[in-house]
Homo-oligomer: A and B are copies of this chain.
Amino acid sequence: MTMKNLQTLKGFRDFLPDEARKRQYALNIIRRTFELFGFEPLETPALEYAEILIGGKYGSEAEKLVYTFQDKGGRNVALRYDQTVPTARVIAMYKDKLTPPFRRYQIQNVWRAEKPQKGRFREILHCDADIYGSPSPIADAEIIAVSYAILKNLGFEKFKVFINDRLILFNLMNAASVPTEMHLSAIQTLDKLDKKPQQEVIDELSQKGLTDEQINKLFDELDKVQISPQLETVLKTASFLGVSNDDIKFLPHLARGLDYYTGTIFELVIDGYTGGSVAGGGRYDNLIQALSGINVPAVGIAFGFDRIIEAMEQFNLFPGKGKGVKVLITIFGKDYSPMSSFVASHLRTNGIATELFPDETTKLDKQLKYANKKEFSWVVIIGPNEVKRDEVVIKNLNTGTQESVKLKELVSKIKP
């Protein structure tokens, strides 16, 4: 029964301890910040009846990426593809239990049968927060404020919130006499103004069938576009909610990819990180009705967790390697394991993460090598001399220094 091919599926990842610890660190901050802003956790199953997820919910191209199969009872089932459609089901199923306005966060894996390529995975952690049941710009501002606080709390210093209103874009299109059926497509092209030279954007609009006149008018209007009263209120409220005015910017060509946005849209971009925006969202007042039949205005944000981790890596925002486990208690030999166990328990009771080397037959120098390899902060050694004097030897692995300390002073010596 031995495993022959030792491999994971393409697009799927093992997270070994160093990586898993970083992800947990970031997740804890994201989760705590959502809760500080009053968002409540929600979890939905990994598997759903396929008919809940497919049939036009994600568009025909995306739907091809949903993992579907027949279970052993012959039911057509599908793996979670996003967290919005399952939440729409929840809102419809439990509408008497969930008092609106309902603000929830959801942090779960989703699965997408994407073509595997660098930085694109088939199992991805999604971190979403949304407010359901309020059409007010105050809800938009709350979503922006919690997203802003998350980046601050993760330790990012320089980043921007870009904000726009889909209505401004649609008005632009009307002012330039672009036919309605071309609005969404033209908006997606305008969105590229940040990444591409203006001429390329013009060429793409032209290829999509816009006339020169329409294109000229579009750029004319774009130059003199005014912020909408709705966005004005969002900005003002966000500012009172702690978002610095310097860090939020009206960007009239910002479009975001999803077709379903109906009003405010925003994205968060970290200065100096080139992997793209780390969070994005907006108002989608029609989607929940389209999905569940229940009229519920909504606004929300989704964090790109892998990008967050990558950017934190770039700016060195994780606590030092090996800081997760602080102290290794070695065992000098069989007779000394009780004393070492006692000291381990003593440190743990004082809240210090401690590993007792789990084998009394391993030679001390091998235990010390293990400590160096795993990068503990401290190693504790308790031999015959130490036991006699009620002392322990502590070695600081960062500085290499070593000293004997009385047992009762141990905690204060090594506590950060």
Q: A3-B88, A291-B1 are in contact. Are A21 and B40 (CB under 8 A)?
A: yes
Interface assignment of A99: CB less than 8 Å from any CB of chain B: yes
Asked whether, in the complex, the Cβ of B7 is within 8 Å of the Cβ of A20, the reply is no
- Residues on B with C-beta less than 8 A from A93 are 6-7, 14
Interface membership of A293, Cβ < 8 A: yes
Task: Name the residue of chain B whose CB is nearest to the CB of A38.
Answer: B355
Known pairs A138-B341, A242-B348; A43 contacts B14 (CB<8 A): yes
Question: Is B342's CB under 8 angstroms from A6's CB?
Answer: no
The DSSP consensus for interface residues of chain A is mixed
Q: How close is A86's CB to chain B, nearest CB, in angstroms?
A: 8
A38 & B325 in contact (Cβ 8 Å cutoff): yes
Q: B residues within 8 A CB of A325?
A: 35, 38, 40
Least Cβ–Cβ distance between A91 and chain B, in angstroms? 10
Q: Does A109 contact B (CB under 8 A)?
A: yes
Interface mask (A38-75 → B, CB under 8 Å = 1, otherwise 0): 10111111111101100111000000000101111001
Is A247 engaged at the interface, CB distance under 8 Å to the other chain?
Answer: no
A42 and B17 contacting across the interface, CB-CB below 8 Å:
yes
Indicate if the CB atoms of A360 and B45 lie closer than 8 Å.
Answer: no
CA distance A85 to B113 in the complex (A): 24
Partner of A354, one of B37, B79, B109, B141: B37
Interface residues on chain A, size class: 35 or more
CA distance A341 to B359 in the complex (A): 57
Question: At the interface with chain B, which of A196-204, A233-241, A267-275?
Answer: A233-241
Bound-complex Cα distance A193 to B370 (A): 44
A46: which B residues are within 8 A, CB to CB?
12, 46, 79, 109, 111, 123
Number of identical protomers: 2
Interface status of A361 (Cβ within 8 A of chain B): yes
A56 to B4, CA, bound (A): 13
Q: Is the CB of B35 within 8 A of A20?
A: no
Complexed CA–CA distance, A93 and B370 (Å): 20
Nearest residue, chain B, Cβ from A100: B370
Could you tell me if A36 and B337 are in contact, using CB atoms closer than 8 angstroms?
Answer: no
Cβ–Cβ contact A345 & B40, under 8 A: no
Additional 17 contacts, C-beta under 8 A, given A9-B75, A12-B47, A242-B349: A3-B52, A6-B92, A7-B49, A9-B49, A20-B40, A35-B353, A36-B352, A36-B354, A47-B123, A67-B71, A69-B70, A99-B374, A101-B358, A136-B361, A237-B337, A237-B338, A240-B338
24 contacts between A and B (CB under 8 A): A1-B55, A1-B56, A3-B92, A3-B292, A4-B51, A5-B49, A6-B292, A8-B49, A15-B43, A16-B94, A17-B41, A17-B104, A24-B31, A37-B348, A40-B325, A47-B122, A47-B123, A99-B370, A138-B337, A237-B341, A240-B337, A240-B341, A241-B341, A241-B356
Question: Interface on A for B, CB 8 Å cutoff?
Answer: 1-9, 12-17, 20-21, 23-24, 31, 35-38, 40-49, 51-52, 55-57, 67, 69-72, 75, 77, 79, 88-90, 92-94, 97-99, 101, 103-104, 109, 111, 113, 122-123, 131, 134-136, 138-139, 141-142, 145, 149, 236-237, 240-242, 290-293, 324-325, 328, 331, 337-339, 341-342, 344-345, 348-349, 351-361, 370, 373-374
